[in-house]
Amino acid sequence: MPSDYLWGPSGEKLPIKKDRPPHFASRDRAGQFLDLIWNVLPDPDPILARAGKSYSGLRELMMDEQVETAWTSREAAVTRTPWDILPGAPDRQSRKIADFCRELYRSYKLKTINQGLLEHVLYGFIPAELIWDTVDGKWIPLDIVPKPQEWFAFNNNNQLVFRPRLGSFEELPPHRFLLIQHRPSFTNPYGVKLLSKIFWSVTFRRNGARWWAVFTEKYGGAFATAKHRSGAPEKEIDDILHTLEDLVTCGVAVFPEGTTIDISTDGSKSQATGNFREFESFFNENISKVILGATLTTDIGSTGSFSAAQVHNDVRNDIALSDRDSLAEAHDDVLKLVTRFNFGDSATPPVFAWEEPEDLKAPTAERDSKLYTMGWRPTKEYIMATYGISEEHFELSKPAPDGVGFSSAEPSVQVKSNSVRLSNFGIEEDDADFEQFIEERTKEGQIVIDAMFSEYSKDADQADSYDEAFELMLKRYPRQTKHRKRFASIIDNVRYAVSQLSASSEKTKKP
């Protein structure tokens, strides 16, 4: 049992106050209770507070084409990523729970749900209601429905509450709502809103377009001038002016006899319209930078380069990874509730996982492959650090020296070209090296095959019937692409080595 006192530095007993609050530094003690209305925290967002805007005003920003383009790109990086639900433990029950939850999630319109949940980035937070019901004796959420932010607020304890009408608030029922926040803090549980950060950029851009149209009409087109006859009355001059306006707008006009018309363009004035284009581009880049973390991929123009594009793409990948992590945490909360309600508190809930693209390291692998043909040899440490492969999952036929990021093969300029190619595989032109090479590739291929059959064996152990096992194995096959590609690569290396050895032998036999 917990003690009622603590031992002090001098051996004295220090009593523990039972009514000690969880937070020593609280809003009430800091004197901020006067800032609270009905025990609810105000949203500290400066756009909502000072510009007199609401969440509906922020939603209007999504009507802007630049905002929509940038957000669609960021959204697609998440919604197009394959997903899976993995067992939380290696036991049979955990696999069955994962299968149950996987089928449940396949019944959802998950892309629509994720699009709604991802809006927490735009508006700071998103509350989503779980629509619970019983289906076949299981208590499951039939849907996950994001709700408008203005229906909710945060109380003095930073807990989400519902506001059914002005001035009244209700606590949320337990296990009924998900809450996803974007960079929340103790002082701002409402989160950081990206739309607030681009509010002025969109506003100035829209207003600038209107003045741009006026400016272009005045200075971007042709200038029409008229010279009236000497001594023309004031009324005739006014008529000529109105007729000149008709000429500019309609292209046709009738002037009195003796009037000279001149239509010309002023290059210096027409070039001034470029300032407005720079004005718009400046705010477009700000919008893209806030939403995507980069501007090159949306406004690359004529100044882009491959290296710069690669850097910007890496930044966007980091943002997409962060977005996927936020959604995965929310889905994990749902899976925990489903597991608890249907399988008990002792059951291990599954986890929601995004499947990373197999070509994530393709540029690095292509570079390393070229360096390999030039004599470079990677160390185990380099492979583990660069590709994230565990040491027990691979072995090097000719390891590089310890502590070196790479080692170079012994150069031999005098060697024939075929011998150089064979040395890339650790083969010299003798039978012993070739047999060793075949033996190593055989072991490597056996490891891949064992891994594939191990997965099939798990499916068979999990199944309760032959038909169920057959169905699980069929579902497993598309997810073994990485194993099949690895095995095909081993076969290709063997074929290439054999062809080069054969070519070298034929060349040696010739007189």
- Among 195-209, 276-290, 376-390, 494-508, the minimum mean pLDDT is found in 494-508
Residue 419 pLDDT = 40
Structure tokens at 505: 């032998």
Would you mind telling me the total number of residues written for the chain in this entry?
511
Residue 455 pLDDT = 78
Residue 214 pLDDT = 67
- Crossing angle, helix 65-79 and helix 273-292, to 10 degrees? 30
Residue 108 pLDDT = 95
Which of the pair, 306 or 72, is modelled with greater confidence? Answer: 72
Which of the pair, 427 or 295, is modelled with greater confidence? Answer: 295
Specify the pTM. 0.59
Q: What is the mean pLDDT of residues 168-181?
A: 92
Per-residue pLDDT tens over the stretch 160-171: 999 887 777 889
Residue 353 three-state SS: strand
- Crossing angle, helix 431-462 and helix 481-509, to 10 degrees? 160
The whole-angstrom separation of Cα 134 and Cα 140 is 6
Please report which helix (H) or strand (E) contains residue 418, including its range. helix 417-423
Residue 3: pLDDT band (50, 70, 90) is low
Residue 297 pLDDT = 46
pLDDT at 431 over 60: no
Residue 451 pLDDT = 78
Per-residue pLDDT tens over the stretch 136-168: 999 999 999 999 999 999 988 899 999 887 777
Residue 404: pLDDT band (50, 70, 90) is very low
pLDDT at 482 over 70: yes
Q: What is the mean pLDDT of the chain?
A: 76
pLDDT at 212 over 90: no
The whole-angstrom separation of Cα 74 and Cα 289 is 12
DSSP letters for 204-240 = HHHHHHHHHHHHIIIIIS-EEEEEPPTT--HHHHHHH
Question: What 8-state DSSP symbol labels residue 150?
Answer: G
pLDDT at 177 over 90: yes
- Among 256-270, 302-316, 364-378, 395-409, the minimum mean pLDDT is found in 395-409
Residue 25 pLDDT = 61
- Enumerate the domain spans of the chain: 46-221+277-357, 222-264, 362-405+412-509
Would the CA dihedral through 448, 451, 453, 455 be positive or negative?
negative
Distances, alpha carbon 488 to alpha carbons 152, 367, 387, 454, 494, in Å? 55, 20, 19, 19, 10
Residue 446 pLDDT = 82
Residue 405 pLDDT = 42
Per-residue pLDDT tens over the stretch 10-61: 666 666 555 555 665 655 555 454 445 567 888 888 888 776 778 888 999 9
Residue 329 pLDDT = 95
Structure tokens at 259: 């009037």
Range of 318-332, 388-402, 430-444 with top mean pLDDT: 318-332
pLDDT at 131 over 90: yes
Which of the pair, 32 or 326, is modelled with greater confidence? Answer: 326
Structure tokens at 70: 């940038």
